[in-house]
Amino acid sequence: MEIKKPAMAGTLESSDCQVTVEPGEGKINFTLESAVINQFGNSIRKVVMETLDKFGVDNVNISVVDKGALDCTIKARVEGALSRSTDQFENVLWGGGKR
């Protein structure tokens, strides 16, 4: 999947996260802002990277601002931002990735 334009998904409300993606510079550039980064930063990073891998994304700048989101919410926000950045809304199986 190729990122064509900047896109965002999510909110800054409690128990949510805001994910922003834009075309990268040949690699995955990941930034995370979270009040619980010391406790859950590695887990958040793992969920984001697994979701990017599932969609075959390896060239992206991705930023996550976490407000206490669960893993399933983080995954959904990454999927939403990726779909918006590619204008790809057909043939996407939400929650399971593109097949």
pLDDT tens, position by position, 18-70? 999 999 888 999 999 998 999 999 999 999 999 999 989 989 999 999 999 99
Predicted pLDDT at 90: 65
Assign 75 a pLDDT band (cuts: 50, 70, 90): very high
Domain 7-86 class, CATH top level:
alpha beta
Taking residue 59's Cβ as centre, other Cβ atoms within 10 Å add up to 15
Distance CA 45, CA 33 (A): 11
**What pTM was computed for the model?**
0.86
Assign 99 a pLDDT band (cuts: 50, 70, 90): very low
Q: Where in the chain are the domains?
A: 7-86
Distance CA 88, CA 70 (A): 25
